[in-house]
Structure 1
Amino acid sequence: MTRVPDTAFGWLVALEIALAVVTFVALCFIVAPYGRHNRGGWGPTVPSRVGWVVMESPASILFLVFYLLGEHRAELVPLIFLALWQLHYVQRAFVYPFLMRGGGRMPVSVMAMAMLFNLLNTWINARWISEYGSYATSWLADPRFLVGVLVFLAGFALNIGSDRILRRLRRPGSSGYSIPQGGGFRYVSSPNYLGEMIEWIGWAVATWSPAGLAFALYTVANLAPRAVSNHRWYRQTFDDYPPERRALIPFIV
């Protein structure tokens, strides 16, 4: 039987959904100052590699800690969800930063905000899958689980493949930008963001949970405006940028 979440859990889920709305509105007017959009005026900075490890590692480490607090922690379906989560965040926190090329920097303020969000997000998702949710082994045959996991893995593959294309554009030690080609870049300017959005939509479907829905909404709210900003930057920077390429959704946006 599914345990009824406590009141605090419900408020934290609502908080994440509210943050998604605020984030989307804010990012429609302000471009987060990291990567190609890095600029001064946002306080002290750290090397981008350090920033990524510090802000993303709690989503892996603390998720495991919170997960282990749940009474369903040894059950098969929650363990699969744990593996999917760690597939993304171990790569994002402990692999991706060390594959980065270039010597960019990240504002400490951006890093700190990401850490706070990850603390909230890992708590509600880990607690749902190992404590409040109830996933019998029969959930493995449920269409929501099957479709959700396939969507998650497809998004993960698109995200990783797109990052690889971006990384190969830079020679070791260089810091310039050029037009990415191939893979999802044939259709959109930010297939890496599209892949991550697909991942967490898949997670929301597979877990069929309020926590998963809140995370999917926040991911779209955070990355969709960023993708539009990237698209605008590419068009302004490169005169020969492919005119048929869209910002985020092939043939549409």
Structure 2
Amino acid sequence: MSVDIWFYIGVVLFITGILGNFLHHKTLADLRKNTLDYIIPSGGLFDLVICPHYLFEIITWLGIFMISRHLASLLILIFIVGYLTARSIRTLKWYREKFTGFPPQRKALIPYIL
């Protein structure tokens, strides 16, 4: 395996994805420490999208694909993108139905876009 710029970009994406996923999952876990009620998450990318942890999961798998450049990792990436995109859209719909004051500008997965 030859190491080139795409390998290093993949490593950066992988590390960014892991860290972003962890931090946003920690934010979600911290919301549930003292209550069983659902709360609109805020902080980090939660102010822009309802599922930033999904976005960082996709970034992680993009990094894995760029590191390996293997068909199996590409197929997993395609599946993950489709699955988490659909889940984030359903999650956004649920939040909008449950919370009357839900921020209307907040997107599902990709800031300002989706």
TM-score for both structures, normalised by structure 2: 0.94
Q: Does residue 161 of the first structure (1) align with residue 29 of the second (2)? A: no
Query: In the alignment, which residue of structure 2 is the partner of 1:150?
Result: 12
Identity of aligned residues (%): 37
Map residues 64-103 of structure 1 onto 2, 5 A cutoff.
none
Query: In the alignment, which residue of structure 2 is the partner of 1:203?
Result: 64
Map residues 98-113 of structure 1 onto 2, 5 A cutoff.
none
Letter in 1 for 2:16: A
CA contact (8 A) 1:158 1:184 kept: no
Query: In the alignment, which residue of structure 2 is the partner of 1:222?
Result: 83
Name segments (4+ residues, structure 1) moved above 4 Å. none
- Which residue of 30, 39, 52 maps to 1:191? 52
CA shift, 1:168, in A, is 0.8
Query: In the alignment, which residue of structure 1 is the partner of 2:38?
Result: 177
CA distance in structure 2 between the partners assigned to 1:246 and 1:151 by the alignment: 22
CA distance in structure 2 between the partners assigned to 1:159 and 1:184 by the alignment: 11
CA contact (8 A) 1:189 1:227 kept: yes
Deviations 1:99-145 (A, max 9, x none): xxxxxxxxxxxxxxxxxxxxxxxxxxxxxxxxxxxx2xx51xx1110
CA shift, 1:202, in A, is 1.1
Deviations 1:161-213 (A, max 9, x none): 110111111125x4221000000101101001111011001110111111110
Deviations 1:25-76 (A, max 9, x none): xxxxxxxxxxxxxxxxxxxxxxxxxxxxxxxxxxxxxxxxxxxxxxxxxxxx
CA contact (8 A) 1:144 1:208 kept: no
Deviations 1:6-34 (A, max 9, x none): xxxxxxxxxxxxxxxxxxxxxxxxxxxxx
CA distance in structure 2 between the partners assigned to 1:186 and 1:178 by the alignment: 13
Match of 1:189, SS? coil
Letter in 2 for 1:157: L
User: RMSD across aligned C-alpha pairs, in angstroms?
Assistant: 1.1
CA distance in structure 2 between the partners assigned to 1:207 and 1:199 by the alignment: 12
TM-score for both structures, normalised by structure 1: 0.44
Letter in 2 for 1:152: F
CA distance in structure 1 between the partners assigned to 2:11 and 2:112 by the alignment: 25
Map residues 25-40 of structure 1 onto 2, 5 A cutoff.
none
Letter in 2 for 1:251: Y
CA distance in structure 1 between the partners assigned to 2:81 and 2:8 by the alignment: 22
Q: Does residue 236 of the first structure (1) align with residue 92 of the second (2)? A: no
Per chain length, whose mean CA-contact separation is higher, i.e. which structure has more relative contact order (CA < 8 Å, sep 6+)? 2
CA distance in structure 2 between the partners assigned to 1:149 and 1:171 by the alignment: 33
CA shift, 1:146, in A, is 0.3
CA shift, 1:153, in A, is 1.0
